[in-house]
Amino acid sequence: MGLNDMDTWRFLPLQVNDAFTNMAIDEAILESRIQGKTPNTLRFYRWNPSAVSIGRFQSVEKEVNLDVCKQLGIDFVRRVSGGGAVYHDFTRELTYSVVVDCGNERITTDVLTSYKGVCDGILKGLASLGVNVELEAADPSQRCPNIMINGRKVSGNAQARRKGVLLQHGTVLIDLDIQTMLKVLRNPKLIMNETIVEFVRNRITTLNRELKREVAFEEVATAMRKGFSEAFGISLPEGYLTTTEVDLARELKTARYGSNTWNYGAPQASGESASCFNPQASTGES
């Protein structure tokens, strides 16, 4: 597998980690790709324990009920990407991440082009499961485009760009614990103006709901792997994290993602971009 082979990416199969490890691994892959040490990469993962993540520029106090998170044993972490607050349910949600050079013709330096490029892999993968999916028509300078099924959100996404390399990661809802999500994410307007039933019916859906059956994590990951292969015209042989990435992820977990300064502060941009810049978390996803 050539590091700069545009026709072959690395596939990292479904793993389970805590929130701090997951975010550290995503950034370690990003940095390793910048340094030319690893190829473009597609990765799938889950969060154990369940966790809340917020966008890089969000306020913890406005977005997360930390007391409830603590009571329920739910982790909290700030992402390097933009977007809104997300509740990552260990038993109900699959997360993907893509690290790819912005020089790829389906990515480029344009934010909307890159969202469409990456999300096309998700769309093709989920469509193969038998659902009617489409990318929401949203302005990424205002809000991250979501992936919709029959007008309801099933996947949220966010990006970070650094030195000509894109990291995009996002969620796919297999099922949803709406009660817990509303407890850990602060959204008084939603709670006041809509019932839980209305919220679920009108705004969010899940693969289980749409397919009317229990959908397995590996089934979704396999479908999305094929979807990315088709969308980008690439092969995706299974790979593994390099020693360099493992070591860097360990350092980032301690220095950044396990740090109160990072998680509870308000980090500023430092020569990189994180989109979307003005997130709206009304659906509880990035």
Give 155-184 pLDDT, tens digit per residue.
999 999 999 999 999 999 999 998 899 899
Q: Residue 107 in contact with residue 118, Cβ under 8 Å?
A: yes
> Does residue 118 carry a pLDDT above 80?
yes
Residue 22: name the closest of 277, 283, 241, 269 by CA. Answer: 241
* pLDDT at residue 25, as a whole number: 98
Give the residue-averaged pLDDT of 181-209: 76
What's the pLDDT band for 43 if we cut at 50, 70, 90? very high
- With b for 16 or more beta-carbon neighbours within 10 A and e for fewer, the 264-280 pattern comes to eeeeeeeeebbbbbebe
* Residue 119 designated active-site: no
| pLDDT confidence bin for 209, thresholds 50/70/90 | very high
pLDDT of residue 227 exceeding 60: yes
Confidence grade of residue 203 (pLDDT, cut at 50, 70, 90):
confident
Question: What is the rounded distance in angstroms from the CA atom of residue 272 to the CA atom of residue 169?
Answer: 16
Among the listed residues 69, 119, 144, 276, the single catalytic one is 144
Q: Is residue 246 classed as helix, strand or coil in its secondary structure?
A: helix
What domains can be seen in the chain, in order of their start residue? 10-275 (3.30.930.10)
Q: Is the peptide bond before 102 cis (omega within 30 degrees of 0)?
A: no
Q: What's residue 280's pLDDT?
A: 33
Question: pLDDT (tens digit, 9 = 90+) per residue, 11-34?
Answer: 999 999 999 999 999 999 999 999
